[in-house]
Structure 1
Amino acid sequence: MKKQLQVVVTGGPGGGKTTALDLFRRELCDKIAVVPEAATVLFSGGIKRCEDEPTIKMVQKTIFQLQKNLEDIHKTQYPARLIVCDRGSLDGLAYWPGTEEDFFEEVGSTFEQEISRYDAVIFFESAAATGQDISSNNPLRNESTSQAALLDKKLQKVWSRHPQFYFVGSSESFVRKITFGIMTLENVINRYQRS
């Protein structure tokens, strides 16, 4: 039986990944299944963001487990489709208030186990990384431009360790960036469909 492929689309806040995924879902609706971002599912359900370290850790552990469960549900429901994840299980490392070792001890996993869940990573650089505005219609996004740029750097440091890491840089033109991101997604899908 052919292995079901799983790709993560990630990046700092204001990177355009959600827009790209929406467009991509419309373009290839019967070939992919898009896993929603676990943090958005959690925060839209009434959980409030806070600065309290023990609570941040509980929230991140919940997001970690929810992300993996959502991915597994989609794999079961759509066995013939490529699974495209809006963020992945390692995103929590950028938000974790402790060390990487502490994170993996708390969630009961390893970096190697988590990175191996994904066949490829497509990273959308935040517009904040080049000083551009990241305001959005998402009421759950509360990061400032400087916070978004820092998160982008942290996320890039985590995910760039994947052997199949694809970088979609910030651009003056959002449309060009999204187009490039969609082409990257298509190339990844085509490459894996041939193999």
Structure 2
Amino acid sequence: MAAPKRIVLTGGPGAGKTATLEVVRHHFSAQVHVLPEAAGILYGGGFPRHSTNAGSRAAQRAIFHVQRELERGSEEERIAETIVCDRGTLDGLAYWPGAEDDFFRDVETSIDAELARYAMVVHLRTPSVHDGYNHENPLRIESARQAAAIDARIGRIWSRHPRVVTVESRANFVEKVHQVLDILRREIPTVRARTRHPEIGPDP
């Protein structure tokens, strides 16, 4: 049996990843396994969120290894033929307070090895305040300007992947979700999800 296909859904703070992935999980059912965000698991569980360089590096190393184990566990359990990741192992570079080489040395890998883990990257762009950026997620601490800067760094990091699809921010969040569903549907040839879009509630 072939190894599951991994797809990254990434983006800066407030891009709508969590809400979008809930719809993806419901829409594709057993054909897709959606992984939780490693950072959310760690920070939600009390991992220190220090603003120092040493604290930031410790957090990103921990997030990297949790992400790796989430992916490995779902692959070994053969839960589904496609795994959609809430961020990938390279997202930590956008938060890393130092040179890229230091990151790869600390986690003992390379840019090429991590890019090769994923079949596709879907980048949800972070909205501006005008388009709906907010702090409804209690783990979101970034200002709109900081979120935009992180989103730009994420875009530059993943631009080195051969298959990146960018989903621009929109005032109508439902349209953004529909675009992601269409992208994923084309990537899952055996999908048996509903042909019509599900009902989606108000913007997150």
Q: TM-score normalised by the shorter chain: which range applies?
A: over 0.9
Match of 2:97? 97
* CA separation of 1:48 and 1:134: change in aligned 2, threshold 3 A: farther
Count of residue correspondences? 192
CA distance in 2, matches of 1:78, 1:134: 36
Provide, for residues 92-142 of structure 1, a one-character-per-residue CA deviation record: whole Å limited to 9, x for no partner: 0000000111111111110000000101101100113x8533114321111
The code of the aligned residue for 1:189 comes to: I
Q: Deviations over 1:139-193 (max 9, x none)?
A: 111111000000000000011211111110111211111111221122222399x
Question: Where does residue 138 of structure 1 map in the other structure?
Answer: 137
User: What is the aligned partner in structure 2 of residue 175 from structure 1?
Assistant: 174
User: 2:200 aligns to what?
Assistant: none
The reply to whether residue 32 of structure 1 matches residue 32 of structure 2 is yes
**Take 2:14 and 2:181, find their aligned partners in 1: how far apart are those partners?**
16
Q: Which secondary structure state, in structure 1, belongs to the residue aligned with residue 30 of structure 2?
A: coil
Cα distance in 2, alignment partners of residues 66 and 3 from structure 1: 20
Alpha-carbon contact 2:127-2:170 (below 8 Å) kept = yes
In the alignment, the residues of structure 2 paired with residue 191 and residue 99 of structure 1 have an alpha-carbon distance, to the nearest angstrom, of 42
- 2:199 corresponds in structure 1 to none
Please state how far the C-alpha of 1:80 moved relative to its aligned partner.
4.0
Letter of the 2:164 partner, please give it.
F
Supply the AA of the counterpart residue of 2:74.
H
Percent identity for Structure 1 against Structure 2: 39
Say whether residues 1:2 and 2:6 are aligned partners.
Answer: no
- Alignment check: 8 A CA contact 1:8 1:88 kept: yes
SS of 1:20's equivalent?
helix
Aligned match of 1:41: 41
Distance 1:191 1:151 in 2: 35
Cα distance change on mapping 1:30 and 1:79 into 2, 3 Å: closer
Q: Return 5+ residue gaps in structure 2 as ranges.
A: 192-204
Deviates more, 1:23-32 or 1:46-55: 46-55
Distance 1:28 1:44 in 2: 27
TM-score, normalised with respect to structure 2:
0.88
In 1, the alpha carbon distance for the partners of 2:147 and 2:11 equals: 10
Cross-structure match for 1:20: 20
Unaligned runs of 5+ in 1: none
Task: Note if contact 2:48-2:59 (Cα within 8 Å) is conserved in structure 1.
Answer: no
CA distance in 1, matches of 2:185, 2:87: 18
Q: Deviations over 1:59-96 (max 9, x none)?
A: 11010011011111111223542111000000000000
Match of 2:140, SS state, is coil
Displaced runs of 4 or more, over 6 A: none
CA RMSD of the aligned region, Å? 1.8
Contact 1:133 1:145 in 2 (8 A): no
Aligned match of 1:162: 161
2:171 match: secondary structure: coil
**1:4–1:121 CA distance, 2 compared to 1 (3 A):** same
